[in-house]
Structures are given as structure tokens and as C-alpha cells.
Amino acid sequence: MGWVLVPSIIILSLWFSAIVHGEVPTTLDGPFKPVTVPLDQSFRGNAVDLPDTDPLVQRTVKGFHPEQISVSLSASHDSVWISWITGEFQIGDNIEPLDPETVASIVQYGRFGRSLSHQATGYSLVYSQLYPFEGLQNYTSGIIHHVRLTGLKPNTLYQYQCGDPSLSAMSDVHYFRTMPVSGPKSYPSRIAVVGDLGLTYNTTSTVNHMISNHPDLILLVGDVSYANLYLTNGTGADCYSCSFPDTPIHETYQPRWDYWGRYMQPLIASVPIMVIEGNHEIEEQAENQTFVAYSSRFAFPSHESGSSSTLYYSFNAGGVHFIMLGSYAPYDKSGDQYKWLERDLASFDREVTPWLVATWHAPWYSTYKAHYREAECMRVAMEDLLYNYGVDVVFNGHVHAYERSNRVYNYTLDPCGPVYITVGDGGNREKMAIAHADEPGNCPKPSSTPDEFMGGFCAFNFTSGPAAGKFCWDRQPDYSAFRESSFGHGILEVKNETHALWTWHRNQDLYDSAGDEIYIVREPQKCPPIKPKVHIALFSPSFHSCSQIVLELKCFHDQNENFHLYSFFYFAGGN
């Protein structure tokens, strides 16, 4: 009898599937019949903001001592950013910005249990939110500091203080743990994913549940403070356009950002948080400036990941490569974001980071009436590129409810498509999404779908499939596996190269229970990435000319399901 050599990754995958099968479903068991959990009528679906008198949002430091301290990741495990604010914000008619040069940006740090023997210096800034209309109050922030620590060891606990030692204005000692080194057997233990968080009493429940799950990393997929639900005088509303239809510009109340930073500090001063913009971060002001608070208050690994914008970037966390895309930055194929995405996808290595996770704010595959097919132009522009590179999971927010898809591509069930998960249920002040577009009378008109900040009109009636000739399905679509209206958050636990456990936790449940859970299973042998043509420009000094050689990669499966890859060069000319 002969021996058959089987790759160890296949053996491990089969063993792991056998262990979990029968306890927690896996995507290998799908596609699943669509499930809608009935609305719990006893659950409070409308949240109330924490007032500025709440002790959790009050300023507790004096002078130039640091507050609103947070940690965020750089592009790889050996570097993190520490951010904080010193000095008080100002709001009113006559405001004088603080001088960032008056306070140093210094972090003293060292490995846990040792002295704070290392020191790093960063930069500082002050931003303003200004309105060109009489009667609107302007705002200027405290001094915002960002310091990058480098040369860190992987999966190591560090302690740090931040501030200005020359002013005797240093923070208490805080702690953070670096990410594991990038590799196929190295992953963060628990990644919390939350969207549309805000600062309400439901937010506090979400954050308390999240803390109880002990995350190593937090992904916030847009809509942070909801400062833009307020006028500059501090008057708030659940719906800005409904309550303030005649305002000359969409005002914001920037102190809500400071309240949010103070409330979140006990968590994000120790657990890294990675944020991508949502529509509530647009915050228009004088001279058509947008996203100023968002871009100023957080540190982003944009430069480290080759991006020229805070609105899109990437980073590694162990064996996971995260792509953070901007729903509200140009995404057409000739634009900077698309070209950056092409470069980023072409450069990441599946041998080092087997998992590819993408996030952006506005979902492509949501079946709720709210924001239904609003991001269709982004999907049309980018879906093929993400599919061809084999994105495993996509996280979105925007819709204030929970939904998990079957694997899907171009509205069709596809075993190689990503699993799309909407977690816009963090607990913000706006109402929970309840109505579904496939229910009688709920299908919106196509003309209502475009968003002024998301480009043109791309959402038309379906031309094929069960919904052919219609704008909405007349039942829960096949690509929608599970949906429920509730506040909560999710936890992603990547176990190995092929298996990741996803659990969604509802606020009304006990801390250790899950409203939805599934093992997301990668099948790299079945679904290899389809990389596009690689263009190589060759320069010939002797002829003082450029010639272009195109390396074209093609793949196919033969009748025995064996995978073949071949390539060839051809001359494409040039001058």
C-alpha cells in the first residue's frame, strides 16, 4: 500500500471542522436559509445621549495635563501611535486658538515591569470648526498630540506615560499590548467590531459588553461621536434635517467629540482602536472643509501603508491584513483611492497574512429599508477588485441593525465571495433600523437612493435572478443569512489560517451569550485569488526609451478540479 502526502493545512482544517461541526455552524454548511429574528418590542430602540453634566464626560484634569488618551496601530506590529489632548477647547464668537508649540508631545515608555527608559517625540496640532454665518458659534480644539512609538516587540505588554515632563504635566501610567508578529500561525485573540457608536446610554451598555469580552483590538467602522446632530449652541435632535431644516449650513457641536474622547479613554488608552470615517464625520464648515475633526483627533497609519489620505489605509494585525476603505472619498477607478487599493492588494502576501478583511461604512449588501442600495456606485466600482483578490470578510456600519450575509458576489450566492456583516448597531442617538426593503410597502424608489457625498446614481432594477425587473426582492434575499434589529457589537477570533469564529453580542443579553455565531472558513484551494495583469516598465539607457512588458497571469481548473496557473510576457510598446 502506498502513502499519500496531504498538506498539513488541509489536515488541520479537516480536524478543526470536525471539532466545531455540530456545535457552531460554519460557512461550509451554507448557504443558509434566510432568517429574520422578530423585533423584541420590549427593547428600547431609541437611545438618549449622555448629557454634558454626566461625570463620565466631564474634564477631570487641569492645565496641560493629558486627557482623551488613545492608542492606535501603525501598519505593522513593531509600531503604535499614542494620541491625547492638552488644554481646554473654546467655543463662541471670539475664540483664540491655543499655540501647539507651547506644549511638547512626549511619550515615555518601556516593557511592563521595567522602567520607562524609552522616549519618543511626536507632533501636535489644533483644529477649528468655523462657520461663515452670523450667530453660529465657532470652535477651536485643545492641543492634539500624536506620537509614534517604533521598534516594539510583538505580542508584548508595554507601559507608558504621555505629556510634557518640562511642565510636570504627565499622564498616569497606562498599558497596551502590541499585535503578534505577522505570520500564518499568529493572530490577535479577540477583535471587537462596532459601528455607529455615538455617546448614549445604549452606547455605555455596548462598551461595557465589549470590555467584558476583553478585546485586543477595536475596529470602529464609522460614525463616532454624532456631534453633527447638534446645533452650535448645544441643542440636539434625533434627526437633524427634520428638526433644523432651515439652518444655513449643517452645524455641529464639537464639544461632543471631547465628551466622547473622555468617556472612551479608560478603554482605548489600553486597547488599540482603528477608525474609518462615516457620514457623521463629514462635518462641513467654512471654505468647504470636511472631516477635519476626524482627521485631527485620530492617528492613522496612512503614510505607513502608502495612502495619501486619512480616509483610507491598511494595516496588519498578526496574520490578518485589514483594508480600511472610505465610503466618502472618491472610489472611481481613475481616483487615488482605487489606485491605492490596487497597489495595496498587489503587495500584501497571503503566505504572511492569510486573512484579508475589508471595512468601510456604507454597506453594499443590506436588506433594510434605511440606506438601501445607497452605496451601489461604490460596489460597482470596487467589488470585482476585492472579489478577485479573495477578500474573506467585510464589515460595515451605517444601518442601525445587525445583518450577516451568505457568501455573495454581484447579488448572487457565490462560495468564493466574502461574508458581509453589518454592525451599525452600536447604540447612537438615531433610531434603530427596523423596516426591511423586501416587506410590503417598504421598497424605496430608486431615485431616493443616491447620497450626495457618495457619487452618482447606480442603483437600478435587477436584470436577472429572483428579483429581475424589480428594485427589491419580495422576500428576504437569498444572500441575507441572518438579520435582527438590536444594539450590540461583534467579536472576531481568528483561530488559524482557515477558521475564524464570529460572534455577535446583543446588549440585552448576558455578557457571555451570543445572538449570532458562525465559523467563517477560508478555502484557499477552492478559491484562489485571481490577480490581474502585472505591468512592468523596462528602461533602456542605450536607446533612451521606455518599453512596456506585460506579465499576464491566467488560471483555470481542469476536468479533475486540479488548479493550473500559467503566465506569459508580451511586448506592449512604448516610447
CA distance 83 to 394: 27
CA distance 108 to 159: 9
CA distance 58 to 342: 44
* Sheet of strand 545-557, all strands in order from the earlier edge strand to the far edge: 534-540, 545-557, 563-571
Q: Which of the following is catalytic: 371, 398, 436, 499?
A: 371
The one-letter amino acid at 322 = F
What phi, psi does 201 have (nearest 5°)? Answer: -70, -25
CA distance 359 to 344: 14
Give yes or no for a contact between 426 and 196, defined as CB atoms under 8 angstroms apart.
yes
417: buried, middle or exposed (CB in 10 Å: 19+, 13-18, 0-12)? buried
> Nearest Cα to 82, choosing from 142, 151, 172, 160?
160
CA distance 208 to 443: 36
Give yes or no for a contact between 315 and 274, defined as CB atoms under 8 angstroms apart.
yes
- For Cα atoms 344, 346, 352, give the angle at the middle one, nearest 5 degrees: 85
CA distance 472 to 476: 10
Whether residue 371 lies in the annotated active site? yes
Instruction: Please report where in the chains the cell 461541526 appears, as a residue.
Output: 21
Beta bridge partners of 177: 157
CA distance 109 to 159: 6
> Nearest Cα to 315, choosing from 562, 75, 20, 68?
75
SS3 534: strand
Bond prior to 55 in cis (omega within 30° of 0): no
Instruction: Please report which residue ranges of 213-366 form alpha helices under DSSP H.
Output: 240-243, 255-268, 292-297, 336-347
Q: Which residues are catalytic?
A: 371
